[in-house]
Amino acid sequence: MDRVNIMVNGVPGNVAVQLVRHIRRDERFFLLPCSLTGPEITEREFMSGQMRIRLIRPDQREDQIRGIREQYGFFISIDFTHPAAVNSNADFYCRHGLPFVMGTTGGDRKMLSDIVEKSSVSAVIAPNMAKQIVGFQAMMEYAAAHFPGLFEGYSLEIRESHQQGKADTSGTAKAMVSYFNRLGCDFSTEDIVKERDPDVQEKEWGIPASRLGGHAWHTYTLLSDDGTVKFSFTHNVNGRDIYVKGTVDAVLFLVKKLENGVRGRVFSMIDVLKKV
Higher pLDDT, 50 or 167: 50
Is the predicted pLDDT of residue 275 greater than 90, yes or no? Answer: no
Nearest-angstrom CA–CA distance, 189 and 182: 14
Report the pLDDT value the prediction gives residue 276, as an integer from 0 to 100.
61
Proportion of the chain above pLDDT 90, given as a percent: 92
Report the pLDDT value the prediction gives residue 66, as an integer from 0 to 100.
95
Overall CATH class of domain 4-125+241-274: alpha beta
- Rg from Cα positions in the chain: 20
Q: What is the pLDDT of residues 97-140, one digit of tens each?
A: 999 999 988 899 999 999 999 999 999 999 889 999 999 999 99
Q: What is the pLDDT of residues 206-219, one digit of tens each?
A: 999 999 999 999 99
Report the pLDDT value the prediction gives residue 241, as an integer from 0 to 100.
94
Chain mean pLDDT for the chain: 95
Q: Considering 22, 82, 162, 218, which one is annotated as catalytic?
A: 162
Q: Considering 22, 82, 131, 166, which one is annotated as catalytic?
A: 166
Residue 191 CA from chain centroid, whole number: 22
Is 22 a known active-site residue? Answer: no
Report the pLDDT value the prediction gives residue 127, as an integer from 0 to 100.
84
Is 166 a known active-site residue? Answer: yes
Domain 131-238: which topology? Dihydrodipicolinate Reductase; domain 2 (3.30.360)
Q: What is the pLDDT of residues 133-183, one digit of tens each?
A: 999 999 999 999 999 999 999 999 999 999 998 878 998 899 899 999 999
* Number of neighbours of residue 266 by Cβ within 10 angstroms: 19
Annotate the chain with DSSP letters as a single string. -PPEEEEEESTTSHHHHHHHHHHHH-TTEEE-SEEE--TT---SEEEETTEEEEEE-TTTHHHHHHHHHHHH-S-EEEE---GGGHHHHHHHHHHTT--EEE----S-HHHHHHHHHTSS--EEE-S---HHHHHHHHHHHHHHHHSTTTTTT-EEEEEEEE-TT--S--HHHHHHHHHHHHTT----GGG-EEE--HHHIIIII---GGGTTSEEEEEEEEE-TTSS-EEEEEEEEESSHHHHHHHHHHHHHHHHHHHTT--S-EE-HHHHHHT-
- Nearest residue to 191 (alpha-carbon basis) of 228, 147, 160: 160
Higher pLDDT, 14 or 122: 122
Q: Where are the domains of the chain?
A: 4-125+241-274, 131-238
CA dist 139 to 25, 53, 58, 72, Å? 34, 40, 39, 41
Give the amino acid at 48: S
CB 257 within 8 Å of CB 265: yes
Report the pLDDT value the prediction gives residue 1, as an integer from 0 to 100.
62
Report the pLDDT value the prediction gives residue 228, as an integer from 0 to 100.
98
